[in-house]
Structure 1
């Protein structure tokens, strides 16, 4: 069943080279989403299963998110199409990226997962270095590449070791637990980099600031979730050692989330603020995962989906302002309520979702993760209170500083935005607030 989607993506390669076929590709992505919806199984075990591919609820949600974000990336990148800025090559890179993400999430074998996990790095690098805005994008690309590669080589060795130990790399046969700290660290560090955990997060703000809107969307929407997905899949293998050492990573996540929230107040670049807020939110996800309890696992999935939609939508808004003003600085992006009054509603809706206001899925994820962490230790309440409070503070700071204030740097034309932009933002916000009605699937996935 999975092969039909792989073949669909392979046969879409010639479609990328059709002249003026940019929006046709967008429609095909939407068709693919519609087809994939019918793969949903109401049970919680694997369905559409073959020797190499299969989906359970975790895989299904992640693949759905990948399809959705990749489709919206094309919708957000109309500038590439209008200026004929290698739009055919852009579509090809997008397709390659979606292919690698689909294979990563649909594989039921650890080595196949690792192979495509690494492969998804290449098209992301192409997006940043090919369609980025500033010359610093080369440095950002190098950061992205080397942070991930250095951490992923030990993982490859530990996969071979586990194969020798377990005689199988299929998820179904992960019965033998490995009680080795070295194995745990070698296997997990690449996921910590991807999430990213505080201390090894520096590649993320750099990559976001230099990436085009499509690059930022896929980084925030799906690439950060690869780390959480990998940990959710593999935690069963190293549970004995994880139970004794995980407190270190929980402390780093919570204290790091608090520090990063502080860093958010000092940003003068809109994209940089949204990127640092991603580090704070994913720190909460990592903390919940490391508690290794029911609430933590379910809450981390809900938070990953919520963050993927919300953060991606905020990057779209930042790009809409950038296209009109030519700058992402808070000092220039002032008083946008006067320039683009109809966009202020979207700024408010997505900023409120970012601070986990009801009825967004962020609220469900955050409440569940707070439950998980407080049941692990009451002392975690201190930093959780700070993280929750400051996430509201920097979200309001982002909204109020950009929408209010005097416009002091020249005169700009008034703009109401295009229908495409409203559709783009609606398709981020609507599922984000609709999915909370099916929160039982998120929380009870295992």
Structure 2
């Protein structure tokens, strides 16, 4: 391997790079990474060292000051972020700290920004082995990618093919100063146990272990990308972008293995993390292959997967909450936020609910209570909402949370669907169209 030099950074940076954030803990690896960035003339004025204070160590504030001083010495920007890294129920301290750190860092990046992380070849080896012990598939065994999308920008790991010994040599030659985190010596954490107790023994027998394991990670990465490319190409055959659903009406063209790939791709497409094999098996057994029971559901990452009319839907739990109280819609309000995150809005239209009726009435938004009827324009007789929902293919869980609009106590509209005949009008700019939309985030 050639001497470690700033060109290893320059080779990865996109031509449109605007700002370069460096995740800087003050430790050996990130200190070397920051020094390499500071040595690139093309990055003058663009580099910002970011120290994330997790608040888990008594010395964390002092480490932050060390990082600030080092950034000033190198002539680069500095930013300190404080995060709450307390682990929740069933979450490991390591995972909680990582998630908190990534959430904070993700918010920093705008389009054409990058963030650099200092993970090296031994870190990649540890990641692959930990994934192996957890029973991961090829995506997990691919380890960490050198380049990945991160927020609005990119995450780069320029040292991922660099050995720890090369990083140590660079730091010694350049007289760098760094801090040592005493928790790294504790083998209570899985990664530290592997690093401190297991890998030294393995390397006595296989000295080039970090190189060969990293090579395996690259092979798994190639395989994972091929699988993902196939799943991305096949997903449109089962994915409905209008409602985000997964169509299970005809899966005869896919094997069981391919179906699992498509389900993973679908869940990732709508913003969830890759599910475990156990979750996938439950989805297939209870929903894909199960009877048409609309009450069946599978909980995953704060959402429920439900089935209706040969489609799977992913609904965040908070979206299933029903507003139980009537609300006054004031005349000056263009939109009304609801407690479950949905938003009601009105817009001028040439057909819809009469503006004159709206402007002269007391407008209220009320929940469905059961037994409501509507007479629709152009149809004879009054129809129960239950039958109208069934005709329109509205999923059962949506029927209870979709709000109803009343004018002076009389049902005038179902938000986003129908207007009663008595309130309906066709006149240029003389009507309101009522929209009901979900929050954008899953």
The TM-score range, normalised by the shorter chain, is under 0.3
More RCO (CA 8 Å, sep 6+)? 1
Q: TM-score, normalised by structure 1?
A: 0.23
Greater share of helix residues, 1 or 2?
1
Q: TM-score, normalised by structure 2?
A: 0.23
